[in-house]
């Protein structure tokens, strides 16, 4: 007989896996992404409205209520994303966007942050950056910016050295004649930094020609190195990082599709194996039940043993022989 309460005959998934599948179905739905994106834009609009004192005075209570509702919605969102990784919590922590969202949401509940309006506004402003999660091109661009930081630091180092050298040379040659722009090292650096954008280059060249004809060499070499060579190097670094970020994004999408396909195949194979195992267990139980019914003993019948009949017959014969004598 089969036990109807036997778990081997029913399809029951672990609660954690069931919760993860349900939350994953919710977070991967298009309406969920659109809703969160709309909440982020709403939060950004509320942050901009709060810059108008008249609106804050008249609608301050409603604005605070809207902010609390946005915070509650973001909290529910991050909880759903955490539940979607209930069967594999480490994957949740490996995603940098999950860590960023978690930091932004948790920071809003810290007493130190809630008491400081400036920090709280900055954290609310950081929520706007979460739009990159729902815009693939913006996400690729931000990844490219992050990848270009090492090259950018090298660019800043070379640019700082170039500014320092040319500032010292300008101070030596133009400090006495043009103290307003080259009177000190700081003023010379500021002047050359503005010249890097080609702003006021004509006035600077005319002022230098009044001092010396060789000043044209100074300004021409500086503009050539600072405004063309270094800027083009920086653009090349950013474009190279952008190509790497696009390639990385493409590889991640391909790997995600491959994992999803493997997971679906493994799930189908696991379901078939479980069904086969249940069928074997059911067949084994039925065979055991049949064997038990065949081996069950039947009720005994009352019969006199044969040796008793033999003994009584012999006694009767001996009694007859004695009576005849």
* pLDDT tens digits, one per residue of 98-114: 888 888 888 888 877 76
Res. 254: pLDDT tops 50 = yes
What CATH number is given to the structural domain containing 193? 1.10.287.70
Confidence of residue 166 (pLDDT cuts 50, 70, 90): very high
CA–CA distance, 259 with 253 (Å, rounded to integer): 10
Q: Which of these three, 102, 134, 166, is where a domain ends?
A: 134
| Angle in degrees, CA 269, 274, 278, rounded to 5 | 150
Q: Quick one: pLDDT at residue 71?
A: 86
Res. 25: pLDDT tops 80 = yes
Same domain, residue pair 128 and 154: no
Q: Which domain holds residue 18?
A: 14-134
Res. 9: pLDDT tops 50 = no
Res. 4: pLDDT tops 60 = no
pTM of this structure: 0.51
Same domain, residue pair 100 and 71: yes
CA–CA distance, 265 with 222 (Å, rounded to integer): 63
* pLDDT tens digits, one per residue of 39-53: 888 888 888 888 888
Percentage of the residues of the chain whose pLDDT score is greater than 70 = 79
Q: Quick one: pLDDT at residue 164?
A: 93
- Rounded CA Rg of the chain: 43
User: Is residue 139 a part of any domain in this protein?
Assistant: no
Same domain, residue pair 20 and 85: yes
The answer to which of 121-130, 253-262, 314-323 has the lowest mean pLDDT is 314-323
Same domain, residue pair 125 and 181: no
What CATH number is given to the structural domain containing 70? 1.20.120.350
Q: Which of these three, 253, 285, 316, is where a domain ends?
A: 253
Res. 230: pLDDT tops 70 = yes
Same domain, residue pair 85 and 165: no
The answer to which of 57-66, 111-120, 165-174, 302-311 has the lowest mean pLDDT is 302-311
User: Is residue 324 a part of any domain in this protein?
Assistant: no
Residues 6+ apart with CB under 8 A from 221: none
Residues 6+ apart with CB under 8 A from 225: 162
Same domain, residue pair 20 and 127: yes
User: Is residue 127 a part of any domain in this protein?
Assistant: yes
The residue-averaged pLDDT of 10-29 equals: 79
Half-sphere exposure of 118 (CA within 13 A, CB side): 0
Number of separate domains in the chain: 2
Q: Quick one: pLDDT at residue 270?
A: 53
Is the pLDDT higher at 14 or at 217? Answer: 217
* pLDDT tens digits, one per residue of 70-100: 889 989 988 998 898 888 888 888 887 788 8
Structure tokens of 266? 């493994």
The residue-averaged pLDDT of 265-277 equals: 61
Same domain, residue pair 110 and 34: yes
Same domain, residue pair 172 and 117: no
Same domain, residue pair 175 and 241: yes
Q: Which of these three, 223, 253, 283, is where a domain ends?
A: 253
Whats the size of the chain, residue-wise?
325
User: Is residue 108 a part of any domain in this protein?
Assistant: yes
The answer to which of 4-18, 56-70, 214-228, 231-245 has the lowest mean pLDDT is 4-18
User: Is residue 79 a part of any domain in this protein?
Assistant: yes
How many other CB atoms are found less than 10 A from the CB of residue 130? 19
CA–CA distance, 146 with 140 (Å, rounded to integer): 10
The residue-averaged pLDDT of 253-264 equals: 66
Same domain, residue pair 51 and 159: no
Q: Quick one: pLDDT at residue 161?
A: 92
Same domain, residue pair 155 and 199: yes
The answer to which of 18-22, 166-170, 228-232, 308-312 has the lowest mean pLDDT is 308-312
User: Is residue 20 a part of any domain in this protein?
Assistant: yes
Confidence of residue 117 (pLDDT cuts 50, 70, 90): low
* Long-range contacts from 143-151, C-beta under 8 angstroms, 24+ separation: 143/245, 143/248, 143/249, 144/238, 144/241, 144/242, 144/244, 144/245, 144/246, 145/238, 145/241, 147/241, 147/244, 147/245, 148/237, 148/238, 148/240, 148/241, 151/234, 151/237, 151/240, 151/241
Question: Measured between alpha carbons, how far is residue 308 from residues 100, 301, 313 in Å?
Answer: 98, 17, 9
The answer to which of 62-76, 111-125, 278-292, 296-310 has the lowest mean pLDDT is 296-310
As to burial, measured by CB atoms within 10 angstroms (0-12 exposed, 13-18 middle, 19+ buried), residue 102 is: middle
Same domain, residue pair 23 and 118: yes
| Angle in degrees, CA 251, 252, 253, rounded to 5 | 90
User: Is residue 119 a part of any domain in this protein?
Assistant: yes
Confidence of residue 199 (pLDDT cuts 50, 70, 90): confident
Q: Quick one: pLDDT at residue 151?
A: 76
User: Is residue 204 a part of any domain in this protein?
Assistant: yes
* pLDDT tens digits, one per residue of 142-157: 777 777 777 778 888 8
Is the pLDDT higher at 102 or at 268? Answer: 102
């Amino acid at each position: 007989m089969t036990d109807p309460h036997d778990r081997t005959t029913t399809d029951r998934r672990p609660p954690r896996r069931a919760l993860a599948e349900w939350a994953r179905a919710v977070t991967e739905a298009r309406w969920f992404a659109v809703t969160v994106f709309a909440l982020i834009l709403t939060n950004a609009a509320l942050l901009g409205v709060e810059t108008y004192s008249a609106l804050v005075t008249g609608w301050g209570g409603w604005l605070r209520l809207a902010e609390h509702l946005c915070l509650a919605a973001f909290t529910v969102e991050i909880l759903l994303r955490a539940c979607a990784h209930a069967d594999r919590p480490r994957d949740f922590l490996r995603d940098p966007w999950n860590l960023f969202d978690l930091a932004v949401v948790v920071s809003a509940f810290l007493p130190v942050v809630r008491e400081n309006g400036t920090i709280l506004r900055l954290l609310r402003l950081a929520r706007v950056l979460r739009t990159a999660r729902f815009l693939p091109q913006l996400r690729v661009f931000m990844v490219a910016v992050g990848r270009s930081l090492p090259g950018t630091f090298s660019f800043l180092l070379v640019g700082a050295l170039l500014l320092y050298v040319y500032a010292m040379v300008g101070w030596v040659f133009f400090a006495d004649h043009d103290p307003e722009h080259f009177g000190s090292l700081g003023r010379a650096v500021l002047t050359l930094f503005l010249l890097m954008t080609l702003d006021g280059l004509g006035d600077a060249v005319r002022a230098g020609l009044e001092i010396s004809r060789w000043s044209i060499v100074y300004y021409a070499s500086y503009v050539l190195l600072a405004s063309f060579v270094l800027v083009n190097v920086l653009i090349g670094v950013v474009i190279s990082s952008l190509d790497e970020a696009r390639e990385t994004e493409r590889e991640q999408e391909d790997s995600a599709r491959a994992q999803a396909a493997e997971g679906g195949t493994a799930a189908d194979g696991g379901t078939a194996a479980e069904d086969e195992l249940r069928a074997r267990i059911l067949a084994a139980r039925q065979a055991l039940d049949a064997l038990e019914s065949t081996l069950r003993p039947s009720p005994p019948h009352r019969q006199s043993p044969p040796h008793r009949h033999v003994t009584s017959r012999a006694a009767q014969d001996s009694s007859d022989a004695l009576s005849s004598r």
